[in-house]
């Protein structure tokens, strides 16, 4: 049964609103919940009013459903649990969310995405067997959840490797630096603020040794006022060149990793059980990941200027003819001050 099958139009509207709220909540778990999925949950009491809200906590902490049910307390009995991912059905660091929902006495559960993890799946069937009314969200809601905060985690479950986003800022003619090598700043402050927001949501930022040596970047995530964000991703430099102890990227928080390889596949393996990798390196690093077929998403920040010369955004991407070009599908566009932001994803492909 789907949400659209429910006879009560008012209930449908409330559940759709709750699922949209849960999706927003799940964004706060990005970069926090790894290796667990970033999930959002909302509890509606029997009258349809919001009684509890929650997002997945750091590993060892509560899952989103438990956070929401704890907040709802007795108001959850006879109510509805709305969640972005099917409630888990296994004992890990915490108990099954399906069991917790039953103990809370919820009468109905609505979820968006089925759990593809064979260890954790099955919560919906456990709930149904116990007499709970379980519904899968409508197709558009499922698509929104699968392409939202859960995107990287789902990719990791299905492919066995992290989701890779290549981010770059360039001119209209695809230059990331002028002929004299100058590159700061091609895009405006609005684009830079957006980048820092994205940094807070990923697990790892990767640059190459060349970028490290030329720019000495800190790769930190910063707030609008320039202060360090509370949550920082892991900072990684890929390449055989040693990273000096005085390099800004090392920082002082222990959130640094040197990946002594030029092979993108090996680099991802060295990162361990992470979900989302942001490649911010120069043209050669971008080309290496593209040539290896490891770019799942592109985030492009385009400035309304033309240089006519200078370094291109990508080099040596393994393409010799137009027919072999790397193709992407536009998912999102936005204006950021004078700049244009594009988010594109690669066509679905098998594990690599």
User: Catalytic residue positions?
Assistant: 65
Tokens of 182: 């100058």
* Secondary structure of 305-343 as H, E, C letters: CCCCCCCECCCCCCCCCHHHCCCCEEEEEEEECCEEEEE
Tokens of 20: 């949209």
- C-alpha to C-alpha distance for 232 and 257, rounded to whole angstroms: 13
- C-alpha to C-alpha distance for 114 and 137, rounded to whole angstroms: 10
- C-alpha to C-alpha distance for 349 and 104, rounded to whole angstroms: 41
**Helices 9-27 and 64-72 meet at what angle, rounded to 10?**
120
DSSP 66-90: HHHHHHHGGGGTTSEEEEEEPPP-S
Tokens of 250: 């090392």
- C-alpha to C-alpha distance for 167 and 296, rounded to whole angstroms: 11
Question: How far from chain centre, in Å, is Cα 263?
Answer: 23
- C-alpha to C-alpha distance for 225 and 218, rounded to whole angstroms: 17
Residue 33 makes CB contacts below 8 A (sequence gap 6+) with: 39, 55, 56, 57, 58, 59
- C-alpha to C-alpha distance for 176 and 199, rounded to whole angstroms: 20
Length reported for the chain: 352
For 293: left if phi > 0, alpha if psi spans -120 to 50, otherwise beta; the answer is left
């Amino acid at each position: 049964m789907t949400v659209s099958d429910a006879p009560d139009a008012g209930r449908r509207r409330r559940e759709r609103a709750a699922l949209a709220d849960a999706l927003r909540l799940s964004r706060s778990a990005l970069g926090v919940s790894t290796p667990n999925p970033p999930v959002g949950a909302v509890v509606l009491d029997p009258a349809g009013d919001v009684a509890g809200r929650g997002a997945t906590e750091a590993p060892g902490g509560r899952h989103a459903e438990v956070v929401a049910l704890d907040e709802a307390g007795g108001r959850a009995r006879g109510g509805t649990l709305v969640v972005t991912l099917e409630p888990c059905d296994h004992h890990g660091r915490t108990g099954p969310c399906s069991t917790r929902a039953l103990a809370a006495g919820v009468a109905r559960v609505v979820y968006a995405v089925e759990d593809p993890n064979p260890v954790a799946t099955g919560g919906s069937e456990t709930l149904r067997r116990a007499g709970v009314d379980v519904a899968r969200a409508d197709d558009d809601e499922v698509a929104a959840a699968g392409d939202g905060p859960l995107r990287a985690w789902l990719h990791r479950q299905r492919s066995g490797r992290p989701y890779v986003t290549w981010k770059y800022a360039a001119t209209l003619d695809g230059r990331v630096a002028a002929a004299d090598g100058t590159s700061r700043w091609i895009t405006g402050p609005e684009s830079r603020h957006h980048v820092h927001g994205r940094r807070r949501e990923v697990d790892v930022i990767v640059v190459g040794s060349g970028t490290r040596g030329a720019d000495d970047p800190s790769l930190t995530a910063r707030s609008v006022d320039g202060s360090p964000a509370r949550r920082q991703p892991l900072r990684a430099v890929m390449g055989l060149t040693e990273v000096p102890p005085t390099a800004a990227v090392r920082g002082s928080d222990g959130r640094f990793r040197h990946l002594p390889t030029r092979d993108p596949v090996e680099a991802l393996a060295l990162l361990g059980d992470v979900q989302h990798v942001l490649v911010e390196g120069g043209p050669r690093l971008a080309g290496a990941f593209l040539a290896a077929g490891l770019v799942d998403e592109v985030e492009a920040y385009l400035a309304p200027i033309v240089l006519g010369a200078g370094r291109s955004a990508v080099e040596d991407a393994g393409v010799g003819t137009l027919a072999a070009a790397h193709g992407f599908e536009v998912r999102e566009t936005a204006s950021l001050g004078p700049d244009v932001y594009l988010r594109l994803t690669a066509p679905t492909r098998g594990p690599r």
